[in-house]
Amino acid sequence: MDQLSFIFYTVLIIVACNLVGFIISIISIHSDFLNKYRIQKRKIKTNTFYNRLPLILFNIFLLIVVSSIGLYYMFPLFEQDINLNWVVISIQLFIILFIDDFYFYVLHFLMHKNQYLLNNIHRIHHKAVSPFALEYIYVHPLEWMMGYVGPFLAIFLISLFMPVNMVAFWIYQLIRNMHELDVHSGFKSFFSKWIPLWGESEHHDLHHEKLNGNYATTFTIWDTIFNTKINHNEK
């Protein structure tokens, strides 16, 4: 597969996931029939969504541009053909998720502990006390770009030992984007709770409500290891 085709399919996954997020956000804001599944009782104001939409769309555009440029130059680190070796795919998928999530945990933790970063950069994201799906990308553009270092770091580290599998990276993109939409949706988890150590909506929603813990998103084990997990009894 050539560079442009690889980038095209990656961008297609990003756009498709965020289109799903847009639909979920619209339904959650304009319809009441899902209210019984909401974690918090606060009702999201319609104008809040539309006021935040320009920054959300800009960050999606930024994500597409930065991803395309980064993958263009990192393409030689990937296998040049589609390889459906599911052992390799599974191992590399876990490694990418693991490295990216640990990097994000450290970055997220520092964003809260450093007052300058919190007040001038990360505070934008926490205007969402009771979030809707697309608010995962309602962040300062600088924070958004800093967060995207994780998967590129994982690609580089894997390439030191073997070529990176394209399918593993595409599945990572699908899982990471859909999981971010899920944990910011404001709705109770249905599937995540059955996956060990996997971040549930309730876990991250509590972070938005309390601000003082639950910094992990994909793997909640980081909050357990570093003692930053919020006790549900504190609610």
20-54 pLDDT per residue, tens: 989 888 887 777 666 666 666 666 667 777 888 89
Residues in the chain, how many? 235
| One-letter amino acid for residue 177 of the chain | N
Per the listing, tokens 């909506």 go with: 201
Domain limits at 82? Answer: 3-234
Give me the numbers of helices (H) and strands (E) for the chain, helices first please. Answer: 9, 0
Domain count, the chain: 1
pTM for the whole thing? 0.88
In the Cβ-directed half-sphere of 162, how many Cα atoms lie within 13 Å? 9
The helix-helix angle for 3-30 and 46-74 (nearest 10°) equals 170
- pLDDT value of residue 195: 64
The candidate with the shortest Cα–Cα distance to 180, out of 151, 201, 149, is 201
For residue 78, name the pLDDT band (cuts at 50, 70, 90): very high
